[in-house]
Structure 1
Amino acid sequence: MSVKSNTVNTVLGAVPAEELGVVSVHEALLSVTPGAEHAFDITIDRAEIFETLAAKLTDFRTHGGGTIVDSTGMFHGRDVRLYEALSRTTGVHIVASTGQGPEEMLGGYFLTPQTNPPTPWPADKFADLFSKEVTEGMVVPRVERRGAAGLVATAVTATGMTATDESLLRGAARTALGTGVAVSFRHGADAVRELGVVLDEKLPADRVVVGGLDRTDAVAAGTPMEIARLGAHVALDHVGTRDADHVTDAERAVLVADLVRAGFGDRVLLSGSATGVAKGHPGNDLPYSHVLTTFVPLLTAQGLSDEDTRRILVGNPRDLLSAR
């Protein structure tokens, strides 16, 4: 079931990379805070969820979108059967992900695996867990394996990388080396150091996405340019977010233009981190089409050509998601 070269694993099977079209690389379809599905005040109506997500995906397709990457990983509401039905109905390719993180979002089983004293899971155990979701199919808990993950996604604790976070990063890198899919991680307190952990596993830098690089602190420190110089993909993945922790869309557009003019146009990725349906947390109720309808005109105003924009929206994610 593992993806073949020049194809990408979607929930409906491997498709030629050239068919992906415009890709939004870091979104969430159904996002459930672990445990919320058991809460008395949370309702999970799959028919209602389907209708909501189908409308949002159709809007994305209407505005020129081709592929959504659900980068929530394991155990956060991922519903492979639902995603299959959504893809068939809307015509939007859906790439689902394996992976977990950060540490605070892991269940106790993955934090203290019956050792005395408790120790973090070793990287090889995470690698085995994630790799099987690529080669054997994604777990539908207690039921079956179904489909194949097209990406390994994890995240680092915002206040600083923990030992478990490091195991997750190394496990993700080993999964990528063994299966051919890429790694995406949301950075914590030190993106360059965290990327260094992944690269220490001998994974080529162009197989890595560093997310969250449109955070205010990262931009102020010049981190996006530094990550690009190291050869990894720079994900500005909160397009449309308006808060003190992230730069504005106007500032993002300037940053994209700066990266392109510095020769790193082939390293830029864009998305909104939108949440289609959120359960147990507020979510980010942003249209998946926001990058296309609102942000692309800002790039044009910065002097980016249609070729530059197409490379960022189509070429870069196509190359990233293609197996190697």
Structure 2
Amino acid sequence: MNTVLGPVPAEELGVVSVHEALLSVVPGAEHAYDVTIDRAEIFETLAAKLKDFRAHGGGTIVDSTGMFHGRDVRLYETLSRTTGVHIVASTGQGPEEKLGGYFLTPQTNPPTPWPTEKFADLFTREVTEGMVVPRVERRGAAGLVATTATAEGMTATDESLFRGAARAALNTGVAVSIRYGADAVHDLDVVLDEKLPADRVAVGGLDREDAVAAGAPLEVARRGAYAVLDHVGTEDGDHLTDAERAALVADLVQGGFGHRILLSSNATGVAKGHPGNDLPYSHVLTAFVPLLKERGLGDEDVRRILVDNPRDLLSVR
């Protein structure tokens, strides 16, 4: 299992939050006149949130933001040493609108997407050689390939990204985390088309109202991938309420898919250039697990979802 401090036995991860953000910076925001990047202040804020997570039984945070959105490997190393929380950083990119022009090969007319193989090589090297750190070259292996599709539906560039992510996973043994665009099952099938085993894929955003209406959580689990309800604590009209999420988890467990559920809050530790989701990383443990218990889930069910499932996903194999 790749953490920012090096390989860790998977059984030591403990309770894992699989879709969170530590430092999230909109590309270019650091140059805005009204944005300050005070590393000492950022460190103190994140350390307090990670210590709170650990105090409530948390063991591992996965920063699933990928490349170019504020990922700071040296900061994460220090935070992990200071707080005792394992941190898994990710490679990957997306959606298309968040890519720099460099990745759209603008020398062609019209611009054409980077080929799948180039994305695969980029992501593979971040796992095998270490994540790129400006002016330092590389350090720390990525533990996950995370990519996102365009909300209105997967574009040609998004498809390149997804296929590249799948090939990087096949090359390295790490898993893929996808956030779908308009159709979760379609986007999962693109990754599976690369012959990546379904149990190496986590599909995020499945607590969105549109995903639930389309039956996507059950269909994703049926295909053998992990159904990720990753906005626990967000009740904004586009997502289920926590009570509805708990009912969905209970239905999946009763249907025999308890081994295919993952939970997270999509919380943002520190956001720059955009409004973050200012939930504590401990929200799943403090507020959501009691709802699951009310729905009849036992300690073994909860442990499977919070400890065993993410351990199996994040194991390098």
Normalized against structure 1, the TM-score is what? 0.97
Candidates 208, 225, 228, aligned match of 2:221 = 228
* Cα pair 1:236 1:269 within 8 Å, conserved: yes
Corresponding letter in the other structure for 2:146: A
1: CA distance, partners of 2:118 / 2:314: 24
User: 2:146 aligns to what?
Assistant: 153
Whole-Å separation in 2 of the counterparts to 1:116 and 1:298: 54
Which 10-residue stretch deviates more, 304-313 or 216-225?
216-225
Q: Which runs of 5+ in 2 are unaligned?
A: none
Residue identity in the other structure for 2:17: S
Superposition deviation, residue 40 in structure 1: 1.3
Matched, 1:247 2:240: yes
The answer for the alignment partner of 2:273 in structure 1 is 280
The gaps in structure 1 that reach 5 residues or longer are 1-7
In the alignment, which of 160, 166, 188 is matched to residue 173 of structure 1?
Answer: 166
1:112 corresponds to which of 91, 105, 108: 105
Q: Which whole-Å CA distance do the structure 2 matches of 1:181 and 1:217 have between them? A: 29
**Identical-pair percentage:** 84
Match of 2:157 among 164, 167, 175: 164
Letter in 2 for 1:119: T
Q: CA deviation at 1:113?
A: 4.9
Whole-Å separation in 2 of the counterparts to 1:195 and 1:242: 25
| Structure 1 contact 137–147 (Cα < 8 Å) conserved | yes
The residue identity in structure 2 corresponding to 1:51 is: E
* Residue correspondence of structure 1 range 27-66 to structure 2 within 5 A: 27-66=20-59
Partner amino acid for 2:219? E
Corresponding letter in the other structure for 2:301: D
Return the alpha-carbon distance in structure 2 between the equivalents of residues 187 and 292 of structure 1: 26
Q: What's the Cα RMSD here?
A: 0.7
Instruction: Write out the 4+ residue segments of structure 1 that deviate beyond 6 Å after TM superposition.
Output: none
Change (3 A) 1:240 1:174: same
Partner amino acid, structure 2, of 1:88: R
Once the two structures are TM-superposed, the CA of residue 219 in structure 1 deviates from its matched residue by: 0.9
Q: How big is the shift at 1:116?
A: 3.8
Find 2:255's aligned residue among 250, 262, 267. Answer: 262
Identify the residue that residue 214 of structure 1 maps to in structure 2: 207
The offset of 1:112, in angstroms, is 2.5
> What is the TM-score normalised by the length of structure 2?
0.99
In the other structure, the counterpart of 1:3 is none
**2: CA distance between counterparts of 1:236 and 1:18?**
23
Q: Deviations over 1:197-243 (max 9, x none)?
A: 00000000000000000001111221100111111000000000010
Aligned length: 317
Find 2:67's aligned residue among 64, 74, 86: 74
